[in-house]
Amino acid sequence: MVPKMTNHPRWGFACGRISVLEGKMLPREFFLNLIGQEQLGDPAQHLQDTFLKDYVSAQTPWADFSNICDGCFYDMVLSLKGDCPSNLPVDFFLLQGDYLNLKEALKGASGFPFNFGLFPQEKLAAIAHGEAADLPPSYRESEAGPSGEAGEIDPGILDIILDGAYLRNLLSLADELNSELVTAYIRERVLSHIVTILWRALRQGQPLRRYQQYLLPLGDFTPVVLELSGTTTSDTWPPTVGGVVGDLLSESFEVFGDEQISLFELKVANYLTAIARDAKMQTAGPERVFSFLAGFQAEIQNIKLVINGRLNHVDQALLRQRVRECYV
C-alpha cells in the first residue's frame, strides 16, 4: 500500500527541479548494455549523458573513480539542500560520511577523508582533542558509554558503538521529519543493517554478546538485537526479523557461502528503491526529495559497480547479477 503523502506548496521549487533531474536518470538497461559491450573503450564517453558528465574526461584517473562518484553525489545533496525549506530529507544522505569522519576523530586523527555534513570540521577536531561534549547525542546514548580518550578506544568496540550511533541518528531524523514513507524506508534500512552487522560478525567468529553491550539502545529494534545476538547460527533468524526483510533473508539462504550476505544486501537495496519510488507520485513535499536522493544513490552505486568492474575485468555475468534496480 502506498504511504500517505501530503503535498506542501513550499516544497514546489525543489520538487520542480527534481522533476527535471528525474528525466536524466538512467534505466537498468543502460548498465546492462554497458556490461555487455565487448570493449569498454574510454569510460568517459559512456558517461556524457549522465550526471557525471562534468566530473570525468579522457584524462580522469580511473583508479579514483569511486571517489569521483561520491563527490558527484555529495554535490547533488548540497545543491538540493540549498533549495529545500527543511534540511531533514537531505541530512539522511550526509550521515554516513559524518560517522566515518567521527571514527577518525575518535582515533585521534587530525585529517578527515570524507565530505562534511552534519558534523563540521571544527567539532570533529575538538573531539579528536578529547572534547566529549562535542560528541553527537546518538553516540553519547550508547549503553556502554563513550569511554576512553581519543585514540585509545578498542577499534572493534568503536566500530560497534558507531554503528549503533549511526542507526539511532537515522531513526531520530525519521521521527523528526514525521513522514510515513521516509519512516518506513528508514526502519527497514535500520533493520536490515542490524542483520548485516550481526551476520558479518557471526561469520568472522566474533562474540555476538558484545553487540548487546555496544550496539544498543535501538528503540523498537532492541529486542531484535537481543534475540539475534543470543544465537549461534543465522538459520533461525528470519522469523525473528519478520516482515519483508525476514523474507529477503530467507531467500538469501538459497545460495551458499559468502554470497549469502551480498545477495541479502542487494535484495534489500532493491526493496528500499521500490519503497522510494512511491514518492514519485507526490507533487511537492519532503518525500519527493528524499526518494530522489535514494534513487540517485542507487544509480551512483550502479555506475561505480559497472565502470570499476569493467576496468578490472570482473566477469560480466557477475556484474549483471549485482546491478541494482533503478529508480526510473
How would you class 308 by CB atoms within 10 Å of its CB: exposed for 0-12, middle for 13-18, buried for 19 or more?
middle
**What band does 153 get if pLDDT is binned at 50, 70 and 90?**
confident
Q: What is the pLDDT of residues 188-200, one digit of tens each?
A: 999 999 999 999 9
Amino acid at 235: D
Q: What is the pTM of this model?
A: 0.94
Measuring CA to CA, how many Å separate 317 from each of 160, 254, 282, 310? 35, 19, 37, 11
Instruction: Give CA–CA dist 323/139, Å, rounded.
Output: 34
- Alpha helices, DSSP H, located in the chain: 12-22, 28-36, 43-46, 65-81, 88-91, 95-106, 121-128, 137-140, 155-177, 180-203, 209-214, 222-228, 237-241, 243-252, 259-277, 286-311, 316-322
Grid coordinates of 112: 578527515
- pLDDT score, position 147: 55
Per residue in 229-240, pLDDT tens? 999 899 999 999
Residue 68, all three cell numbers: 569521483
- Residue 273: closest CA among 323, 226, 312: 323
Radius of gyration of the chain, Cα coordinates, nearest whole angstrom: 20
The amino acid that residue 102 corresponds to is: L
pLDDT score, position 166: 98
The ranges assigned to domains in the chain are 9-322
Give the pLDDT of residue 156: 85
Alpha-carbon span 194 to 203, nearest angstrom: 14
If one counts every other C-beta atom within 10 angstroms of the C-beta of residue 59, the result is: 6
- pLDDT surpasses 70 at 149: no
Q: Quickly state the pLDDT bin for 295 (edges 50, 70, 90).
A: very high
Q: Above 90 in pLDDT, residue 203? A: yes
The Cα-based distances of 281 to 2, 27, 63, 88, 292 in angstroms read: 10, 18, 39, 20, 12
How far apart CA 260 and CA 252 sit, in angstroms, is 5
Q: What pLDDT was estimated at residue 5?
A: 78
pLDDT tier for residue 155 given thresholds of 50, 70 and 90:
confident
**Cβ count within 10 A of residue 264:** 23
Side-chain-side CA neighbours of 137 within 13 Å: the count stands at 6
